[in-house]
């Protein structure tokens, strides 16, 4: 059987010796620090996060630290990308624990602003609008109207502040990654976007901050998502895109406790429905109890 092309990990945050790390909460202080680093000619790598860090984030930070002299991580639960107030309120905020982990990973600066520091009153209310060229009209964009506007709003602001040479994003949020690539093109940011493979538990479950909200029983149930996706690689060898989409949705829905919101096999660049498997990725959103999980799988070209 073909394998999911992902990294399986054991939890080990203590990979690098502790270094001095600054926690900055004010935009002005961050700009001053960046100015000084730029004058010294340092290369800057950036990992934007919303905190509640797990090994998936750690893999981004490790890669960033390997490829850049300075690693900056933002920890900011961005209110403008939530369509649901309850979801925003429930989002885990664990800055003390996150900072400890980041120190051990060799991070130089943690930027952890408050919402008031990040946004003026008007920005908080305004409907930030960005031309996504259709990338936001499918899958997550369709299910969560306005979500990607909020993501672009905050990431563009963070890029202007941190002025990174490279920025690191996980492929689990595949649509977000493609949208960030488009944003960089349209807004002409001088930054290289690096997509990093999904990190999974040994069971296959894709790591996510939302997994913290799953009970042990739900976690066992959720493992079926990656199992069905992996099995679909074989199935796709002798079936069409439409048949494979149907099969994956049916197989996941057949597991008690799982409910598919969508499974779409799309082109890896345009995110439009794939005509065949030559450059295709399957993206799924599944409710496991009340928790909304996403995952994806790339189909090998043939
Ligand atoms: O992927 C995330 O955690 C967020 O969408 C991001 C990129 C940090 C923007 O808030």
- How far apart CA 146 and CA 136 sit, in angstroms, is 9
Q: Is the CB of 50 under 6 A from ligand 1?
A: yes
Residue located nearest, by CA, to atom 5 of ligand 1: 151
Task: Give the predicted TM-score (pTM) of the model.
Answer: 0.92
Query: Which of 53, 87, 130, 154 to mutate to test ligand 1, by most ligand atoms within 8 A of the CB atom?
Result: 154
**Any atom of ligand 1 within 6 Å of the Cβ of 173:** yes
| Phi, psi (deg, nearest 5) at residue 229 | -60, -45
Radius of gyration from C-alpha coordinates of the chain: 19
- Retrieve residue 290's tokens: 């009340």
Give CA–CA dist 139/118, Å, rounded: 28
Residue 151 Cβ inside 6 Å of ligand 1? The answer reads yes
> The dihedral of CA 48, 54, 59, 62: what is its sign?
positive
Is residue 267 within 8 A of residue 139, CB to CB? The reply is no
Predicted confidence at residue 277, as pLDDT, reads 97
Q: Which residues carry out catalysis? A: 57
Largest distance between two CA atoms of the chain:
58
* CA 243 to centroid of ligand 1, rounded, Å: 33
Tens digit of pLDDT for each residue in 213-265?
A: 999 999 999 999 999 999 999 999 999 999 999 999 999 999 999 999 999 99
At 28-58, the pLDDT tens digits run 999 999 999 999 999 999 999 999 999 999 9
Instruction: Specify the pLDDT at position 4.
Output: 52
Q: Best substitution site from 46, 47, 50 to test ligand 1's pocket, by max atoms within 8 Å of Cβ?
A: 50
- Residues 32 and 34: their CA atoms lie apart, in Å, by 5
Distance CA 202, CA 108 (A): 31
Please give the mean pLDDT across all residues of the chain. Answer: 93
**What percentage of the chain reaches a pLDDT higher than 90?**
82
- pLDDT for 72 equals 98
| Residue segments in the chain with a per-residue pLDDT below the cut of 70 | 1-19
């Amino acid at each position: 059987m073909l394998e999911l092309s992902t990294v399986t990990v054991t939890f080990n945050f203590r990979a690098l010796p502790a270094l001095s790390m600054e926690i900055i909460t004010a935009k002005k202080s961050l700009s001053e620090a960046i100015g000084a680093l730029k004058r010294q000619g340092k290369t800057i790598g950036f990992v934007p996060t919303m905190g509640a860090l797990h090994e998936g984030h750690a893999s981004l930070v490790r890669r960033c630290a390997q490829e850049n002299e300075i690693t900056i991580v933002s920890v900011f639960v961005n209110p403008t990308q939530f369509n649901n107030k309850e979801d925003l309120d429930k989002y885990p905020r664990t800055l003390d624990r996150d900072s400890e982990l980041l120190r051990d990973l060799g991070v130089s600066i943690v930027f952890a602003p408050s919402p008031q520091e990040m946004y003026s009153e008007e920005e908080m209310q305004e409907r930030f609008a960005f031309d996504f060229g259709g990338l936001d009209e499918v899958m997550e964009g369709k299910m969560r109207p306005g979500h990607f506007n909020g993501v672009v709003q905050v990431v563009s602001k963070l890029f202007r502040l941190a002025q990174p040479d490279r920025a690191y994003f996980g492929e689990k949020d595949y649509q977000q990654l493609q949208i960030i690539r488009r944003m960089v093109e349209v807004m002409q940011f001088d930054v290289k976007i690096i997509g990093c493979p999904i990190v999974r538990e040994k069971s296959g479950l894709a790591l996510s901050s939302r997994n913290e909200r799953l009970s042990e029983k739900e976690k066992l149930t959720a493992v079926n998502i990656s199992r069905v996706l992996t099995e679909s690689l074989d199935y796709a060898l002798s079936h069409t895109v439409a048949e494979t989409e149907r099969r994956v949705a049916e197989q996941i829905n057949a597991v008690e406790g799982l409910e598919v919101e969508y499974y779409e096999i799309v082109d890896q660049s345009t995110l439009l429905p794939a005509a065949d498997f030559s450059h295709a990725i399957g993206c799924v959103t599944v409710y496991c109890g009340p928790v909304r999980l996403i995952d994806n799988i790339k189909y090998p070209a043939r």
